[in-house]
Amino acid sequence: MPTEPLDESQLRAAEEALGVVFDDKSLLRESLTHQSFINENPGVSAVSNERLEFLGDGFLNFVVAHQLFTRAPQQAEGELTARRAQAVRRETLADIGQRMRLGGFLVMGRGEAASGGAERESNRANAFEAVVGAVLLDRGFRFARAFVLRWMKREIVRILAAETPKDPKSLLQEILQSRGRATPAYRLTGTSGPPEHRRFSVIVEVDGVAMGEGAGRRKIEAEREAAGRAIDRLLAGETLRQDD
């Protein structure tokens, strides 16, 4: 695991592992630079991969969502949301990062490297997202889409073949737990209509912050819709924070 910026031979090896030749090598170098290296070397001109990670995360979600939308035309929004969340969860992206051997190319601070940072699931997943962002900027939309589908084909096929996606409420709780967040709380905000056509309105909150709203003829349906919308927000990269 490198603790110094990648040299030309290391960049070529990374390109070979990824199956991409970059026009702008600085984007590849940036995608493989962990924030811990910047923290330990404040005088260097290097940039961490966090901004590329943000870009890659959004692009990954788009590509997977488009695949699910076009290849599963009979599935409702809630099912598509649950399947997408399974496809892009941290464990899945970390597995892809391991297949790419990203841990061996990720430049980290000595402290992070010594503590096993190359094997840390979050580092591998984040590095994969950053690489996707770098490919998008360097090679454009079509190439980046093909790159994502090549590396995620196995996961997308598996998700599409699954009988039933995980319940959105269970999936939301898993996502929050993996990020060290509190358990979601569901709050009934209202009911409407006569008894035979009653509709329930629900909000799901995390740490007191409303993350999604839902409505349905049964309370559980409203809660599932609210959970699905909360998952959408989390996958879009929104942070949980108290309102100002």
Start and end residues for every CATH 3.30.160.20 domain found in the chain:
168-235
pTM of the model: 0.70
Among the listed residues 30, 53, 112, 129, the single catalytic one is: 129
Spell out the CATH class of 8-161.
mainly alpha
Predicted pLDDT at 90: 82
Any long-range contacts for 164-168 (C-beta under 8 Å, 24+ apart)? 165/79, 165/82, 165/83, 165/86, 166/82, 166/86, 167/82, 167/224, 168/78, 168/81, 168/82, 168/224, 168/225, 168/227, 168/228, 168/231
Using pLDDT thresholds of 50, 70 and 90, give the confidence band for residue 237.
Answer: low
57 is an active site residue: yes
d(CA 128, CA 176): 21
pLDDT for residue 146 = 96
Residue 223 token pair? 């809660």
pLDDT of 68: 93
**CATH 1.10.1520.10 domain locations along the chain:** 8-161
Checking if the pLDDT of 210 tops 90, the result is yes
Domain 168-235: which CATH number of 3.50.50.60, 3.40.1280.10, 3.30.160.20, 3.10.310.30: 3.30.160.20
Over residues 69-93, the pLDDT tens digits come to 999 888 887 788 888 888 888 888 9
Closest CA relative to residue 185, chosen from 198, 169, 166: 169
Flag whether pLDDT at 51 surpasses 60: yes
Task: Check 30, 53, 57, 225 and give the catalytic one.
Answer: 57
pLDDT at site 244: 36
What integer pLDDT is reported at residue 234 of this predicted model?
A: 80
Give the pLDDT score at 142: 96
What confidence category does residue 168 fall into, taking pLDDT thresholds of 50, 70 and 90? confident
Look at residue 17 and tell me whether its pLDDT is greater than 70.
yes
pLDDT band at 241 (very low <50, low <70, confident <90, very high): very low
What's the pLDDT at 63? 95
Is 129 noted as a catalytic residue in this protein? yes
Average pLDDT over residues 103-109: 90
CA distances from 206 to 174, 181, 187, 224, 229 (A): 13, 8, 11, 15, 13
Q: Is the pLDDT of residue 243 over 50?
A: no
- Over 60: is that where the pLDDT of 125 sits? yes
